[in-house]
Amino acid sequence: MPELHPIAAHSRQSSSAATMNRPAPGESAAQGAAGRNAEFQTRRLDEELMNALVVEDSPQIAERLVELVSIPSRVEVVATAATEDEALAACDRYTIGLAIVDLQLAQGTGFGVIRKLRAAAGSSPVCIVVLTNHAVPALKVAAFEAGADYFLDKSKDFATIPRLIGELLDKRGG
């Protein structure tokens, strides 16, 4: 089985969560807890983390991408993968909302990963960003045909990633 590289989860509990169970003045403990639990659950659904996958065979670039993509309480990188097999296993294990995919990997290519992400998404939105050193027209066309949403050149578009993520979060209401 391919080795997945999970990323430590960010805490989803806010500092005010400890006060959620205290009743407000004039209400019973049951009334207060029920109302606040419903409010808390609604807030948790609205603020659910987007799972991200980084598919990159260079450990240094993968680490930098994890730093760029991770936004506490908004975007969590759930796995990194250096090979196609590792990435496909991550696709089976997690519901991915954002994937940064290199095309040239230590084993396989990013094209299979893109196709798998697109097929697995079904009605769930997924944003697939190709980030490659091989930004030639033929690969760009192939990446879009496979299902990529964006095609970026590592040498000049790396800094675009935070803006793309911000736009994605704005579109999804987060």
The shares of helix, strand and coil residues in the chain, as percent rounded to the nearest 5, are: 50, 20, 35
Measured in whole angstroms, the distance separating CA 157 from the mean position of its chain's CA atoms is 19
pLDDT digits (tens, 9 = 90+) for 6-62: 443 333 233 333 333 334 445 544 444 444 344 333 333 445 789 999 999 999 999
**Average pLDDT rounded to a whole number, residues 151-171:** 93
Give the integer Cα–Cα distance in Å for 123 and 106.
31
Largest separation between any pair of C-alpha atoms in the chain: 68
pLDDT tens-digit series, residues 94-141:
999 999 999 999 999 999 999 999 998 777 889 999 999 999 999 999
User: At what angle are helices 137-146 and 110-121 packed, to 10 degrees?
Assistant: 30
Q: Report yes or no on whether pTM surpasses 0.85.
A: no
What does the pLDDT read at residue 136?
94
In order of 25, 28, 33, 35, 141, the CA distances from 21 in angstroms are 13, 11, 5, 10, 54
